[in-house]
Structure 1
Amino acid sequence: MSDIKTDVLLVGGGVMSATLGMMLKNLDPSLHITMVERLDHVAHESTDGWNNAGTGHAGYCELNYTPETPDGDVEIQRALGINAAFESSLQLWTYLVEQGALPSPREFINATPHQSFVWGEKDVAFLRKRHERLSAHHLFESMEFSDDPRVLQDWMPLILDNRDPSQPIAATRVKHGSDVDFGSLTRNMVKHLKTHENFKLLLNHHVKNLKQTRDGEWKVNLRNDGGPDAASHITTKFIFLGAGGGALPLLQKSGIEESKGYGGFPVSGQWLVCRKPEIVKRHHSKVYGKAPIGAPPMSVPHLDTRIINGEPALLFGPFAGFTTKFLKEGSYFDLFSSVKSSNFKPIMAAGLSNIDLTRYLISEVFQSHADRVKALQNFFPDAQADDWNLQYAGQRVQIIKATPQGGGKLEFGTEIVAAKDGTLAALLGASPGASTAAHAMIDVLERCFKDRMASDEWQAKMREMVPSYGQSLIDDAELLRSVRRRTLSTLELDASEPETRKQA
């Protein structure tokens, strides 16, 4: 056992920690960075390819990012923000590929059109209005709309085969959407970080507790579950809690004032998976529909092309569920142990106002395979039960926050919580999550490394890694088109033929 002194401690071996580590190493190679992961390898929880949708969330197909307003209009501001945030991730990955820090893009990202599909007159009208509003903005100017079954047969043949011809249908498409294997991406980033002499990776290590000293440093106690690089204590100037569902309990242990009032609501997920080549080769996109009434945003149904560890497959779901675990490999006591005097009232208030959601999640747990296949058949009418197997997805912990009125609110998104002195930051929440990792970690840098981020050296390096840094892709059409040309070319997302079709 040994004690370690480090400049930066990254807790959790997922995409968020890896992204922050890569940024900091490029900004200042002399920094000593330590990553602590409780499992025996990185990217095994939420970041693993089978534990998330793999959608490069850009607002192209996700209808829950563009809600309908009471007057019949469509709100697009959230979709614009998510699209711009994903562009930051694409720019960072482009830079890392060009620098040789990441391998061929095909190892972690593949061109996969993003499509939205609806049926019924009301939803067709909504999708048409959504297309009108989004395609008028330069971020979405390439979005196509069609309600012609002949066109849609070409876009999504599995979905159109043997569908009722009298049913009104419509879809939108963006060809340069992407499927991202976040597990492969993260493992490659950590692999590169390990080539730096000032980077240390500690696997099989749990953070037991953490406490800030009077001089502002953090003392972290670890539990070692084995391995040659065992450590028991870490002293650090800065901590990032990027531990997925495990971030909230660690944030609570930190005792910082900013952690007060936060709670968590765990939601589990499942997929139906098909690996039959004759079926997989006929679908080359991610097709999102509308969520059932009462369903959480993470349960928006979609039929996805996936390439995980180089192998193509189709996924449908996710089917939500309820468990008291905060991590897939966590404890059933996670939810109960997270309840504190500072968040008891917000949790109770949020629970009382979301009884229908809880009831919905519990009902999802008791669905049969036939029930799930029936939901799939709304998308893929010819789906056969024997061709699809159930796969358990990752665990998500949605944010519960105290409201100014003294109650609590359940939120579906991601949020950075940072100490006022900038010595600790944590990422809470779920979707759009990994897709906006670069944007989220820039937020961490600006809040926790404020003085250094203001320096000419770091400003210049940030613009090298993310050329749009400090500017608005939402407001600047020419800047968007310039960076998008580069990212789509370098990451091979502008190919006319999706990679899955070539492999199949």
Structure 2
Amino acid sequence: MTKTQASLRPYDVVLVGGGIMSATLGLLLKHLEPTWTIAVYERLPELAGEASDPWNNAGTGHSGLCELNYTAELPDGSIDIGRALTVNEQFQQSRQLWAALVEAGILGKPETFINPVPHMTLVHGKTDVDYLRRRFETLSENALFGSMRFSDDPAVIGEWAPLLAQSRDPGEPIAATRDVTGSDVNFGALSKQIFTYLKSVDVSINPRCEVRGMRRNNDGSWQLRIHQHTDNDRFTHKVDARFVFAGGGGWALKLLQKAGVPEARGYGLLPVSGRFLRCDNPEIIARHDAKVYGKAPVGAPPMSMPHLDTRVIDGERALLFGPYAGTNPKFLKNGSILDAPGSLRPHNIGPLTSMLASNLPLVWLLTKQLTATRKKKLAALREFAPEAVMDDWTMITAGQRAQIVKGEPGRRGVLEFGTEVVAAHDGSIAAVLGASPGASTAPAILLEVLARCFPSYQRYWAPSLRELIPTLGSSLAGDAALARHTTSRTAEILGLTAPLRD
């Protein structure tokens, strides 16, 4: 049975989705404008149940320390580290924000949401060993990467991470980098702690509420049609909001389409499913302490980079390997098989079709991984841990990711491997599309949302934002002293490993 309730009071801000993006934006706005009314609507019974849930992601504090896709080899043989510097600086903003929230008592003990875990990169073969060495030499010249170490000695690599070196062919060229300042983040716990605080300062938190429709009001605000599910009934609310933000992963595009936002034209999404092997042997878990990233297969999205990850979830250590990517039409783990076909529009069919036609190796890779046998999955794991046996591992299903497909002139579709803000020209509605680095750089992404949607507030808000992120407006990559001071300070507050001294 469905009952329709009268329109509720207009909110200044409505946040759609109960994950890390909505939590962070709600926190920033409540800090900047304490009198603004804010409501959060989440379709699942619990908050942070989708991409932010710790079992639905790798928990990597993405900062360019181990991910090969953030650097590139140029034609002259030099290494472009621009993207790595940007991502690292953005993650340092996240660390500063979380440190400020810990000091303010808004977040609990740091170990409940972030823990020190070294970040490593592992490669095989002479060509990749040479590339990793040159990558290390270039990165380590910058203070943000001053703690990185390189070795092509299997004995040293074995000291760093014993599982990587045991029973490996002594004639196989391998190399690794290691940075002890890396971290493992429980974005689910982090989101829930922020939402607990927001509820205490009168933010309305509404689980089991799904936004089914949107339309413009005459005054430029938005009216949202929301279905609220209870155990025995279903109600329809109509809620007005002056500003709407969609932080619900792949669901964000659906919301922009419901709103008829012209800026969303040409956008499509390629949903990619993920599965991990979870180690069930406590002895093996205890012998590994690192997030070890390898090289992705040719044509694979960054989220398909194989990695062997130490996790710390609710105080317990775990070990995951993956992801094994595949195709799945859902935009969310708890979504519908109609998500992808339901998002098709005349303006994005062309870009999606041309993207698939020009990325056939990716399509083939996803299909192969989806149908991979148990033997092939074990072979992928043994690239990292040669002594691995399948009896010690269980396959689990992780979260869904929706990679951006963006239409360009001539209707050619381009697959974007990152995160992008899409906002209406008047700043009344915005959404975040894409995947990695995503959650790790949420503060930086949402600062962009604030700048684009509230441009007249920026000068007024700047001092308050620097209370949370002291280096805002400064370049850590270009100021070695500031980088060392900032990373050392946040490491101390968050219980992470301090930068190594030369």
Q: Give the TM-score normalised by the residue count of structure 1.
A: 0.96
Partners in 2 of 1:71 and 1:324 — Cα distance?
Answer: 41
Partners in 2 of 1:367 and 1:72 — Cα distance?
Answer: 35
Q: Give the drift of 1:229.
A: 11
Q: Is the 8 A contact 2:199 2:205 kept in 1?
A: yes
| Equivalent in the alignment of 2:17 | 12
2:476 aligned with 1:473, yes or no?
yes
| Equivalent in the alignment of 2:93 | 88
| Equivalent in the alignment of 1:208 | 212
| Equivalent in the alignment of 2:323 | 318
| Equivalent in the alignment of 2:142 | 137
| Equivalent in the alignment of 2:53 | 48
2:174 aligned with 1:186, yes or no?
no
Q: Give the drift of 1:214.
A: 2.8
Q: 1:395 aligns with which of 388, 394, 400?
A: 400
Amino acid at match of 2:291: K
Render the CA deviation track for 1:225-277: whole Å, top value 9, x for unaligned.
12799660110100001011111111111112111111111000000000321
Q: 1:448 aligns with which of 442, 450, 453?
A: 453
Q: Give the drift of 1:404.
A: 2.6
| Equivalent in the alignment of 2:182 | 177
Render the CA deviation track for 1:271-292: whole Å, top value 9, x for unaligned.
0000321111100010111112
Amino acid at match of 1:219: Q
Amino acid at match of 2:209: H
| Equivalent in the alignment of 1:339 | 344
- Change in Cα spacing, 1:486 to 1:391, as seen in structure 2 (3 Å) is same
Q: Give the drift of 1:345.
A: 1.4
Matched positions, count: 494
Partners in 2 of 1:81 and 1:35 — Cα distance?
Answer: 30
Partners in 1 of 2:235 and 2:376 — Cα distance?
Answer: 48
Q: Give the drift of 1:481.
A: 1.8
2:73 aligned with 1:104, yes or no?
no
| Equivalent in the alignment of 1:254 | 259
| Equivalent in the alignment of 1:196 | 201
Q: 2:118 aligns with which of 110, 113, 118?
A: 113
| Equivalent in the alignment of 1:223 | 227
Amino acid at match of 1:155: W
Q: Give the drift of 1:67.
A: 2.2
Q: Give the drift of 1:71.
A: 3.2
Q: Is the 8 A contact 1:8 1:34 kept in 2?
A: yes
Indicate the SS of the match to 2:250: helix
2:284 aligned with 1:279, yes or no?
yes
Partners in 1 of 2:91 and 2:169 — Cα distance?
Answer: 37
| Equivalent in the alignment of 1:493 | 496
Partners in 2 of 1:18 and 1:166 — Cα distance?
Answer: 50
Indicate the SS of the match to 1:304: strand
Indicate the SS of the match to 1:342: helix
- Change in Cα spacing, 1:136 to 1:122, as seen in structure 2 (3 Å) is same
| Equivalent in the alignment of 2:161 | 156
Q: Is the 8 A contact 1:2 1:230 kept in 2?
A: no
Partners in 2 of 1:95 and 1:405 — Cα distance?
Answer: 47
Amino acid at match of 1:327: L
Q: Which moved more, 1:446-455 or 1:110-119?
A: 446-455
- Computed over aligned residues only, the root mean square deviation of the Cα atoms, in angstroms, reads 1.6
Indicate the SS of the match to 2:107: coil
Q: Give the drift of 1:333.
A: 1.1
Q: Which moved more, 1:70-79 or 1:119-128?
A: 70-79
Q: 2:244 aligns with which of 239, 254, 258?
A: 239
Indicate the SS of the match to 1:473: coil
Matches for 1:310-459 after TM superposition, within 5 Å:
310-455=315-460, 458-459=461-462
Amino acid at match of 1:350: M
Partners in 1 of 2:400 and 2:74 — Cα distance?
Answer: 31
Partners in 1 of 2:139 and 2:208 — Cα distance?
Answer: 46
| Equivalent in the alignment of 2:30 | 25
Partners in 2 of 1:329 and 1:478 — Cα distance?
Answer: 46
Q: Give the drift of 1:370.
A: 2.1
Amino acid at match of 1:209: G
Q: Is the 8 A contact 2:227 2:234 kept in 1?
A: no
Amino acid at match of 1:99: A
Q: Give the drift of 1:406.
A: 3.0
Q: Which moved more, 1:249-258 or 1:237-246?
A: 249-258
Q: Is the 8 A contact 2:126 2:173 kept in 1?
A: yes
| Equivalent in the alignment of 1:75 | 80
| Equivalent in the alignment of 2:486 | 483
Q: Give the TM-score normalised by the residue count of structure 2.
A: 0.96
Q: Is the 8 A contact 2:419 2:438 kept in 1?
A: yes
Amino acid at match of 2:185: V
Q: Give the drift of 1:489.
A: 0.6
Indicate the SS of the match to 1:185: helix
Q: Which moved more, 1:262-271 or 1:350-359?
A: 350-359
Matches for 1:302-313 after TM superposition, within 5 Å:
302-313=307-318
| Equivalent in the alignment of 1:461 | 464
Partners in 1 of 2:181 and 2:302 — Cα distance?
Answer: 23
Q: Is the 8 A contact 1:206 1:223 kept in 2?
A: yes
Partners in 1 of 2:7 and 2:180 — Cα distance?
Answer: 51
| Equivalent in the alignment of 1:499 | none
Partners in 2 of 1:406 and 1:327 — Cα distance?
Answer: 27
Amino acid at match of 2:403: Q
Q: Give the drift of 1:495.
A: 6.6
Task: List alignment gaps of at least 5 residues for structure 2.
Answer: none
Q: Is the 8 A contact 1:202 1:229 kept in 2?
A: no
Q: Is the 8 A contact 2:299 2:359 kept in 1?
A: no
Partners in 1 of 2:41 and 2:20 — Cα distance?
Answer: 13
Q: Which moved more, 1:171-180 or 1:210-219?
A: 210-219
